[in-house]
Structure 1
Amino acid sequence: MGVGYRNSEGYWDPVPFAAAANMDREAKKYRPLVYICSRGEGEMEKIRKYSRFAVEQEAIPLAPDLLLSQYMKEKEQDLILLMRKVLLGKCSEIWVFGSEITDGMKQEIGKAKKKGMTVRYFTEDLREA
């Protein structure tokens, strides 16, 4: 049974129909999953800022530096690199923040370009470069 213009008692009631239509429009709004690529060491507050910026740009941010630092140990670098590659593969775009590009960031950018992903560059103050 779908949402109609009449309520369960048969009276005219367009409000539920309008609300359901509005929910459908919001659900269909596309937001790309974007990989937040930045210099991670000691930069957690900046990465939070970059992630919030992505949300405000109607994207869904994935910031592996924030995520993996919660439960991975420094000595597990090989596993961390593997996880980062897998997460990058799930995204449709990579957003690179900051003026310094580390070797790890270069590898991620290279992989993204090989996959044909959109690569966008931003300064630390959130201006597109």
Structure 2
Amino acid sequence: MSKSTQRIIKEKQGQFKPIVYICAPFSGDTTFNTNQAIQYAKFAYEKGAIPLTPHLLFPFLDDASLADRQSALFMDKILLGKCQEVWVFGETITNGMNGELEISKKRRQLIRYFSTECVEVEKCN
């Protein structure tokens, strides 16, 4: 977390809620993965964060379409820049997630890892 974010949290004394990017598998079984993402977003919300969950933002795009998938990944990376933290869920890191994590590392965003049961772990993979 950046020093400016830490300062805001201290000044607001608990009023600040970080925007967290929910990073989890989507491709493959998109229905199951979307339902999982809903649970992860709920968990983040219950922990006092504002979840930004890309799985839920673009239902009009077809993951089976290469053009739509590329558009979604592009938009996801833009939205990622608006977040203070990235929360990674599950043991599997997909190609799309890997790209998001590389960007997060370059931006020095706080990355936290969680199991599919929403238990924080050291690091997946």
Q: Percent identity?
A: 39
Question: Out of 38, 51, 58, which is 2:41 matched to?
Answer: 51
**Which position in structure 1 is the counterpart of 2:51?**
61
More displaced stretch, 76-85 vs 53-62 = 76-85
**Which position in structure 2 is the counterpart of 1:78?**
70
Question: Out of 100, 108, 112, which is 1:108 matched to?
Answer: 100
Deviations 1:1-46 (A, max 9, x none): xxxxxxxxxxxxxxxxxxxxxxxx79x7000000000011331111
Matched ranges for 1:87-106 at <5 A: 87-106=79-98
Letter in 1 for 2:84: S
Deviations 1:26-78 (A, max 9, x none): 9x70000000000113311111100000001100000001111x222332122
1:128 is aligned to 2:114: no
In angstroms, what is the RMSD of aligned CA positions?
Answer: 1.6
SS in 2 for 1:90: coil
Letter in 2 for 1:38: A
Letter in 1 for 2:45: V
Deviations 1:66-102 (A, max 9, x none): 111x222332122111101111011111000000111
Letter in 2 for 1:61: P
Q: Name the larger-Rg structure.
A: 1
Paired residue total:
103
TM-score, length-scaled by structure 1: 0.75
Structure 1 runs, 4 residues or longer, greater than 2 Å off: none
SS in 1 for 2:57: helix
TM-score, length-scaled by structure 2: 0.77
> Which of the pair has the greater relative contact order for Cα pairs under 8 Å at 6+ separation?
2
